[in-house]
Structure 1
Amino acid sequence: MDTTRHRARHRRRRVGLSVGIPLAAATAMGMSYGGAFGMFGDDARPDAGAATADPAWVGETADGFASVNALGQNGTYGGRGGAIVTVKTLADLEKYATASKPYVIVVAGTINMSPKGNEIKVASNKTIVGAGTAGQIVGGGFFLGQGVHNVILRNLTIRDSYAGTWNDKDHDWDAIQMDGAHHVWIDHNNLRNMADGLIDSRKNTTYLTVSWNQLKNDNKAFGIGWTDRVTADITIHHNWFHETEQRNPSTDNVAHAHLYNNFLQDDPDSTITSSYGNYARGGTRMVVENSYFEGLTNPVIKDGTAALVQRGNVFVDTKGRNESGGAAFDPKTYYRYTLDAAADVPSKVKSGAGPRADIGRVTTAAATTLTVAKDGSGRYKTVQAAVDAIPVGNPSRVVISVKPGTYRETVNIPANKPHITIQGSGASRKDTVIVYGNAAGMRKPDSSGTYGTPGSATVAVRSDDSRLRNLTVSNDFDEAANQSLNGHQAVALLTAADKIVLDGVVVTGDQDTLEMETAAPDKPGRVYVTNSYVVGNVDFIFGRATAVIDQSVITLKKRWDGTSAGYIIAPSTPAGRNGILINRSTVNGDVASSSFQLGRNWHPGGDKAVDPQATVRDSTLSAAIRRTPWTDMGGFSWKEDRFAEYMNTGPGAGPKSPDRPHLTDAQAASQEVSDWLGNWTP
């Protein structure tokens, strides 16, 4: 930001998310940014050597309880960021599913399990997805063991291990079995005709979402339990249970079971007759909402020890027990969701559940890849040399794959070179570091003046549709050694273009770390930051861009003299546009309590026409945040601009007041990520 602002501008560090529990009860007790890179972990960004432009479905993440930040895992995104591999044989499927690295595994044909009943032991950080409707697993399934996490099983048909006898104790062959796993998303699958269960969620498996699946023609559809502990949190929505006799699901000792918009259907005069539908057992607390039950016997039942709340369900041609009772829980305490009308559920679920043609498709056109290695083993030794080698007006994506190392240089991607990805090829975002130490008040080597704030950037991205992934961008300007310098703004990363993605990066500095602008005041400039860290102390997330920081960590940092004081956000949003949205993220840092403010309003050069906007929602705030989180800047009152919070938690969160505006539910519905990004899906 320009030097007309006050010097007292500081940046913060991000906080790890707390383990387990509701959004409303989350605290800032998780891991902070450091050697282990906090809650994401060193291996959160997989080996990026095989760099291509990811299809949109790769970036889709779970909703429901699988989206909740807990147990050191930030939602469920599977193998996103790892290599995308296509498999057609059992040997290849087992090779990648059991590997230690993250992978997106595309099943592009029918794979027959051998021996029959084989269940592949899936490792953490995997997406296994069918290629359109072609991905089929026949005669076996998948097993997720104790501690396995961050797994997506999607768009597959898993079928036909049935050995001739229903309820067959000699052939315990499931489609999907989970024993003590967490953060699993089972979505858009067709599961049918297995020897035992279609899905078994056992032994405290938690943070599980099961959505838009067809569970058909089986004796045991979906069993949950096999534990005396009441700890599991599970969401089950938009599934079609069709011709399944029992466990639809049977839910034993589940702390929070949220079932909504499911369609349970038992055809008359068929060979399979349901014995019951949704069943709450033991210590389960269950909420069943806007589901549709057709032809079932005992559609909703509970034990005397379980709590079951029903709302808005439809029952057609059902008979027998239909029960509720006790106090359960409010799912919106844990995550946001939208209910479909129960009357619409049969048509929506029939048409939408099961494998879809648009999921799992991989473009055959690979991006051009340029390799950078400072030791000379790549084509280029510097990142800028690779950028310079790309022709002006390149029509398709070019990936600059940067091998691990510290690259002390500045990098500028000019506006006339779009579709560029700079991607670290190490196992961690900390393996590849681009760093420099310019500041706004420093004089340029050619004596043409000072750098100014944007000119101080270590990396400047000025081209549309460009991305940074799996690396660290740093400005290490030494404020303590340069106290006489007028202009301590020191940008690590500047974006000045539209459709910019920062995925799995660390952006670190002190004052003005991350500057997000547009190419010109009248041009759009959308930026999407995810699975990342931003570190600083003064106005360190700022600019006029329409920017989303989603599922990331904002880490507060002490100032050069060891004091704690600063501001996170300094938007300079043009009137009529969206500003900076921080969503589902965490604020942390080793700083004093009540020493930082969420932000202040920046009117560059006293411009009265701008209308700064910042919204912080569904995030965890550390005790460092002041009770009055917003403040004025440059003589402009923040109350005349657009600043608000919604559903934040943690010791730094606070109730609505004149000094702490909160969005209403109606206002929040129009301030979602999709409202910021419009017709662009990163």
Structure 2
Amino acid sequence: MTYSRKLIALAALTFSSLLCLPGVSFAANLPSGVDVVVTKTPIDSSLPQFESVTLALAHITQSSNKKPSNQKDDSTIIYITSGVYRERVVVKQNNVRFIGEERDSTVIVFNRYAGQAIAEGSTEKWGTRRTATFEIVGSNVTLENLTVKNDFDYPANELKDDSDPTKVSGEQAVALKTDVLSDKVFLNNVALWSYQDTLYLKGDRAYIKGGIVAGHIDFIFGEGTALFDDVTILSRTRYATDNNMEYTGYVTAPSTNIHRPFGLTFFNCRLEREDGVPKFSVALGRPWHPTTTFPDGRYADPYAVGKATFISTYMDSHISKERWTSMGGTAPDGTKRYFNPLTEARFSEFDSSGKGAPASPLQHNALTSENAQFYTPQAILRGWFPPL
């Protein structure tokens, strides 16, 4: 959806005019450098104010106001006050910084799942790639102190009997996605909540500092390069009645291109679980080989040799003793095959601690202390590091 310049101006004027009403004015305590405010209740400020993040983005796209060239940070800053903003946000702009008033009370939420029809009566589905509540296409985009959710009700759907006509398939529901064109994405104290496929890292470099990523099946996945630093990785409860389920979840499903030296790297993180997640039921990861179109057909991408590395990370007892597991894909002849996590992926860990750490030295997928020293922010992020 696009917005005309007049419509954006009218939205800002109408919303700001509410300040004239008795009892509506509020004192504003904004961080320095803020350009636009997103708020459910008008605040006492001369800055442009909008009721949605989408309208704020449309405003900065059409605005001719630029920051002084001598200003250290030339990013446009959008401040979001506490509240629940139900919308799907797509950030196509570069150099945008979103700052929430408080992480757990500043919530951007949407409900969309992969198997959902794009319109009533349509046979076309959204597919995983178009389900994200917050999608980043641009570069140099920062999110701070806010929560992003996809609230598709996976548990309720999982509890339905297979014969129930209201039970849906395609339950992947992304909270945040970095698009293939994005680079230099910084998530600082951000909470991401969903169930299957919570964080889709398809872009280039991303740095995730603090915060929470919560889900259960392949909930951190994709081909991107990402450094997770001091992040809580929360495995969520499954409600399926299948007692033969070997795994209740998989933390990662990387599809890293074989030419990329780093994929998903976790440093000083905490792998925790919700109540109800059984012991030894969650694998650290499995290798995702996306079905891709080649001149000779469509099959699992042989160049996607997923990489995930855990360094100095606490692991609760839900982590599987087997550590990693296989993942299915389509062979060139159309049959299904499984990719071996030991030989057809790049999985490793070093200095793990907690009840879910290896009970004895690993025979496979263990980094030596000499190799672990090469996993530095400088190397992983190729010289880029956001200002903290």
TM-score, shorter chain, exceeding 0.5: yes
Q: CA separation of 1:51/1:445 partners in 2, compared to 1, >3 Å: closer, same or farther? A: farther
2:222 to 520, 525, 543: 543
Q: 1:420 aligns with which of 92, 96, 99?
A: 96
| C-alpha distance in structure 1 between counterparts of 2:54 and 2:124, whole Å | 23
Query: Retained in 2: the 8 A contact 1:51–1:369?
Result: no
Query: Aligned-pair distance for 1:678?
Result: 1.5
How far has the Cα of 1:51 moved from its partner? 3.7
> Does structure 2 retain, via aligned residues, the 8 Å contact 1:479–1:560?
no
The answer to whether residue 350 in structure 2 is matched with residue 680 in structure 1 is no
Q: Deviations over 1:492-550 (max 9, x none)?
A: 111121000000111011000011112xxxxxx10000111111001001111100110
Q: Distance in 2 between matches of 1:418 and 1:560?
A: 40
**Which structure 2 segments of 5+ residues have no match?**
1-27, 68-73, 159-166, 292-299, 329-337
- Structure 2 equivalent of residue 508 of structure 1: 193
Q: Identity percentage over the alignment?
A: 33
Q: Quick check: 2:115–2:125 contact (8 Å CA) kept in 1? A: yes
CA distance, structure 2, for counterparts of residue 474 and residue 434 of structure 1: 6
Aligned-partner SS, 2:219: strand
Which residue of 390, 402, 408 maps to 2:60?
Answer: 390
1:616 counterpart (287, 310, 334): 310
Aligned to 1:565: 248
Q: Distance in 1 between the 2:239 and 2:106 partners? A: 25
Alpha-carbon distance between aligned partners in 1 of 2:99 and 2:222, rounded to the nearest angstrom:
24
1:657 alignment counterpart: 362
Query: C-alpha offsets along residues 190-216 of structure 1, whole Å, 9 cap, x if unaligned?
Result: xxxxxxxxxxxxxxxxxxxxxxxxxxx
* Equivalent residue for 1:597, pick from 283, 286, 291: 283
Counterpart amino acid of 2:236? K
| Map of 1:668 onto structure 2 | 372
Query: How far apart in 1 are the matches of 2:119 and 2:106?
Result: 27
Change (3 A) 1:480 1:669: closer
**Residue 473 (1) aligns with residue 159 (2):** no
After superposition, the Cα gap between the structure-2 partners of 1:526 and 1:49, relative to the gap in structure 1 and judged at 3 Å, is farther
SS in 1 for 2:378: helix
CA distance in 1, matches of 2:385, 2:49: 32
Q: Which amino acid aligns with 2:90?
A: N
In structure 2, distance between residues paired with 1:551 and 1:625: 18
The 1-side partners of 2:376 and 2:214 are apart by: 24
Q: 1:429 aligns with which of 98, 103, 115?
A: 103
Q: What aligned pairs does 1:228-377 form with structure 2 within 5 A after superposition?
A: 366=33, 369-377=35-43
Distance (Å, rounded) in 2 between the aligned partners of 1:445 and 1:420: 31
State the AA in 1 paired with 2:234. Answer: T
1:562 and 1:554 map into 2 onto residues whose CA distance is 25
**Which digits, 9 at most, give the CA deviation of each residue in 1:158-205, with x for residues without a partner?**
xxxxxxxxxxxxxxxxxxxxxxxxxxxxxxxxxxxxxxxxxxxxxxxx
TM superposition shift of 1:481: 4.2
Contact 1:373 1:402 in 2 (8 A): yes
Summarize deviations over 1:389-448 as a string: whole Å, max 9, x none: 12279783111111101111111101xx101111112xx310100111100110113748
Matches of 1:405 and 1:375, distance apart in 2: 9
Q: Quote the offset at 1:461 in angstroms.
A: 1.0
Q: Please state how far the C-alpha of 1:667 moved relative to its aligned partner.
A: 1.1
Q: d(CA) in 2 for partners of 1:406 and 1:488?
A: 23
| Structure 1 residue 656, shift from structure 2 partner | 3.1
**Could you list the per-position Cα deviations for residues 62-113 of structure 1 after superposition, in whole angstroms to 9, with x for gaps in the alignment?**
xxxxxxxxxxxxxxxxxxxxxxxxxxxxxxxxxxxxxxxxxxxxxxxxxxxx
Structure 1: runs of 5+ lacking an equivalent? 1-47, 53-365, 519-524
Q: Distance between the aligned counterparts of 1:448 and 1:441, measured in 2? A: 10
Q: Is the 8 A contact 2:155 2:238 kept in 1?
A: no
How many residue pairs get aligned? The number is: 310
Q: Answer yes or no: is the 8 Å Cα contact 2:342–2:365 preserved in 1.
A: no
Could you say which residue in structure 2 is the equivalent of 1:405? 83
Q: Following the alignment from structure 2 to structure 1, what is the Cα–Cα distance between the partners of residues 77 and 118? A: 30
Using the size of structure 2 for normalisation, the TM-score is: 0.76
Larger strand proportion, structure 1 or 2?
Answer: 1
Helix, strand or coil at the partner of 1:539: coil
Aligned to 2:342: 639
Counterpart selection for 2:234 from 555, 579, 594: 555
Q: Which moved more, 1:666-675 or 1:600-609?
A: 666-675
**Partner in structure 2 of residue 582 of structure 1:** 266
Distance (whole Å) between structure 2 residues aligned to residue 627 and residue 429 of structure 1: 34
Report deviation, 1:486. Answer: 2.2
Partner of 2:24: none
The code of the aligned residue for 2:98 comes to: I
Measure the CA separation in 1 of the matches of 2:131 and 2:168. 14
CA separation in 2, counterparts of 1:649 and 1:680? 29
Distance 1:596 1:422 in 2: 33
1:630 aligned counterpart, secondary structure: coil
Aligned-residue CA RMSD (Å): 2.1
Partner Cα distance (1:555, 1:442) in 2: 26
Q: What secondary structure, in the 3-state scheme, does the structure 2 residue paired with 1:434 have?
A: strand
Aligned equivalents of 2:139 and 2:31: distance in 1?
A: 19
- Kept after mapping to 1: 8 A contact 2:223/2:263: yes
* Distance across 1 between alignment mates of 2:187 and 2:263: 17
TM-score (norm 1): 0.44
Q: Once the 2 structures are TM-superposed, how far is the Cα of residue 374 of structure 1 from its aligned partner?
A: 1.8
Measured in 2, the distance between the counterparts of 1:418 and 1:517 equals 17
Specify whether residues 499 and 515 from structure 1 end up closer, same or farther in structure 2 by C-alpha distance, changes over 3 A only. same
Instruction: Please give the secondary structure, in 2, of the residue aligned with 1:639.
Output: coil
Are the counterparts in 2 of residues 49 and 401 from structure 1 also a CA contact under 8 Å?
no
Q: Which residue identity is paired with 1:374? A: K
Which residue does the alignment assign to 1:488? 171
Which residue pairs with 1:265 in the alignment? Answer: none
Tell me which structure has the larger Cα radius of gyration: 1
Tell me the secondary structure at the aligned position of residue 98 of structure 2: strand
- CA deviations on 1:106-127 (whole Å, 9 max, x unpaired) are xxxxxxxxxxxxxxxxxxxxxx
AA matched with 1:632: S
Amino acid across the alignment from 1:410: R
Counterpart Cα distance in 1 of 2:113 and 2:95:
28
* 1:262 aligned partner: none
What is the identity, as a one-letter code, of the residue corresponding to 2:339? F
Aligned partner letter, 2:127: G
Look up the SS of the partner of 2:304 in the other structure. Answer: coil
Aligned to 2:16: none
- 1:530-576 residue CA offsets vs partner (Å, 9 max, x unmatched): 11111100100111110011011111101244887100011000112
> What is the aligned partner in structure 2 of residue 293 from structure 1?
none
Report the secondary structure of 1:439's partner residue.
coil
Contact in 1 for aligned 2:118/2:125 (Cα 8 Å): yes
Structure of higher RCO (CA pairs closer than 8 Å, 6+ residues apart): 1
| Alignment partners' CA distance in 2, 1:477 and 1:662 | 37
What whole-Å deviation, never above 9, does each CA across 1:205-258 have from its counterpart, x for those lacking one? xxxxxxxxxxxxxxxxxxxxxxxxxxxxxxxxxxxxxxxxxxxxxxxxxxxxxx
Which whole-Å CA distance do the structure 2 matches of 1:382 and 1:620 have between them? 38
For the residues of structure 2 that align with 1:374 and 1:448, how far apart are their CA atoms? 36
